[in-house]
Structure 1
Amino acid sequence: MQKFKTTLAGIQRLKIGKISKSLFLGIALTALSQNEAKAQFTATGQIRERTELRAGQGTLQKEGDKAALFNSQRARLNIGFTGYRFKVFMALQDVRVWGQDASSINRTTTEANNGILLHEAWGEIMLNDTISTVQNLSLKIGRQEISYDDQKVLGGLDWLQQGRRHDAIVFKFANEGWIADVGAAFNQNKEGNTGTVYNGVPTAYGAGTNGIGTMYKSFQYAYLGKKFSFGDISFLFFKDDFNKYTSVTSGTPAVTTKVYGEGVWSRNTTGFYFNTNPTRKINIAGSLYHQGGHDKDGRSVSANLASITSTLQVGRKLFVGPGIDYLSGTDGTKAVTATSQSNLFDPLYGTPHKFWGSMDYFYAANGFGKQGLLNYFFKAKYNMRDNLTLQLDVHGFQSANTLSNGTGGELDSYLGTEVDMLVKYNLTKMINIEAGYSIMKATNSMASAAVKNVTNPDLSPQFAYVMLNIKPNFLAKK
Structure 2
Amino acid sequence: MEKIKTTLLNILGLGKIETQKVKISKSLICGITLSLISYNNANAQLTATGQIRTRTEMRAGQGTLQKLSDNHALFTSQRSRLNLGFTGYRFKVFTALQDVRVWGQDASSINRTTTEANNGVMLHEAWAEVMLNDTISSIQNLSLKVGRQEIAYDDQKVLGGLDWLQQGRRHDAIVLKFANKGWIADVGAAFNQNKELPAGTVYNGIPTAYGAGTNGIGTMYKSFQYAYIDKKFFFGDLSFLYFKDDFNKYTSVTSGVPAVTTITSGTGVWSRNTTGIYFNTTIKRKLNLTGSAYYQGGHDKDGRSIKANLASITSTLQVGRKLFVGPGVDYLSGDDGTKTVTASSDNNRFDPLYGTPHKFWGGMDYFYAASGFGKQGLLNYFFKAKYNMKDNLTFLLEVHGFEAANKLSNGTGGTRDSYLGTELDFIVKYNLTKMVNFEAGYSIMKATNSMASAQVKNVTTPDLSPQFAYVTLNIKPNFLAKK
TM-score range, shorter chain: over 0.9
Structure 1 residue 32, shift from structure 2 partner: 4.0
Q: Which runs of 5+ in 2 are unaligned?
A: 1-15
Note the C-alpha offset of 1:37. Answer: 1.3
Who is 1:435 aligned against?
A: 440
Q: Supply the AA of the counterpart residue of 2:160.
A: G
CA deviations on 1:61-83 (whole Å, 9 max, x unpaired) are 00111100000000000000000
How does 1:24-423 map onto structure 2 within 5 Å?
Answer: 32-106=37-111, 108-423=113-428
Contact 1:211 1:365 in 2 (8 A): yes
For structure 1, which segment, 128-137 or 242-251, has the greater mean C-alpha deviation from structure 2 after superposition?
242-251
| Contact 1:333-1:408 within 8 A present in 2 as well | yes
Aligned residues of 1:189 and 1:203 also touching (Cα < 8 A): no
Residue 213 of structure 2 contacts residue 353 of structure 2 at CA under 8 Å; is this kept in 1?
no
Root-mean-square deviation (Å): 1.9
Residues 309, 127 of structure 1: alpha-carbon distance in 2 compared, 3 angstrom cutoff: same
Contact 2:368–2:374 (Cα < 8 Å) also in 1: no
TM-score (norm 2): 0.94
2-side partners of 1:86 and 1:284: how far apart?
Answer: 37
Partner of 1:7: none
SS for the counterpart of 1:445 is coil
Answer yes or no: is the 8 Å Cα contact 1:441–1:461 preserved in 2. Answer: yes
Cα 1:269–1:27, aligned 2, differ >3 Å: closer, same or farther? farther
Tell me the secondary structure at the aligned position of residue 444 of structure 1: coil
- How many Å separate the matches in 1 of 2:274 and 2:446? 33
- 1:369, 1:452 within 8 Å by CA — same for their partners in 2? no
Per mean C-alpha deviation after superposition, the further-off stretch among 32-41 and 366-375 is 32-41
Q: Who is 2:3 aligned against?
A: none
Measure how far apart 1:473 and its partner are.
0.3
AA in 1 matched with 2:108: S
Structure 1, residues 406-435: CA drift from partner, whole Å, max 9, x if none?
Answer: 211000000000000000000000001000
Q: Deviations over 1:312-354 (max 9, x none)?
A: 0000000000000000011111221001101100000000000
Q: Is the 1:170–1:182 contact (alpha carbons within 8 Å) kept by the matching residues of 2?
A: yes
CA deviation string 1:212-248 (max 9, x = no partner): 0100000000000011111111000000000000012
Provide Cα deviations, 1:39-94, integer angstroms capped at 9, x if missing partner. 00000000000000000000110011110000000000000000000000000000
Give the fraction of aligned pairs with identical amino acids, expressed as a percent. 81
Q: Deviations over 1:389-412 (max 9, x none)?
A: 000000000000011112110000
Contact 2:294 2:311 in 1 (8 A): yes
Inter-partner Cα distance in structure 2 for 1:399 and 1:337: 21
Aligned counterparts of 1:15 and 1:333: Cα–Cα separation in 2: 98
Equivalent-residue separation in structure 2 for 1:308 and 1:223 (angstroms): 20
Q: 1:447 aligns with which of 443, 452, 462?
A: 452
TM-score, normalised relative to structure 1 = 0.94
Q: Which residue is 1:458 aligned to? A: 463
Structure 1 residues 412 and 13: CA distance shift in structure 2, 3 A: closer
Q: Distance in 2 between matches of 1:24 and 1:132?
A: 35
Deviations 1:236-291 (A, max 9, x none): 00000000000121343222232101100000000000000011110000000000
Call closer, same or farther: CA 1:28–1:327 in 2, change over 3 Å.
same
Which amino acid in 2 is paired with 1:156?
Answer: G
SS of residue paired to 1:447? coil
2:215–2:373 contact (8 Å) kept in structure 1: no
Contact in 2 for aligned 1:128/1:136 (Cα 8 Å) = yes
Matched residues, number? 468
Tell me the residue number matched to 2:8. none
Deviation of 1:19 (Å): 8.2
Moved more, 30-39 or 333-342: 30-39
Q: Secondary structure at the match of 1:354?
A: helix
Paired letter, 2:146: I
Does the CA contact (< 8 Å) of 1:35 and 1:84 recur in 2?
A: no
> Which secondary structure does the structure 1 equivalent of 2:282 belong to?
strand
- Secondary structure in 2 matching 1:446: coil
* TM-aligned CA distance change 1:237 to 1:24, over 3 Å: farther
Gaps of 5+ in 1: 1-10
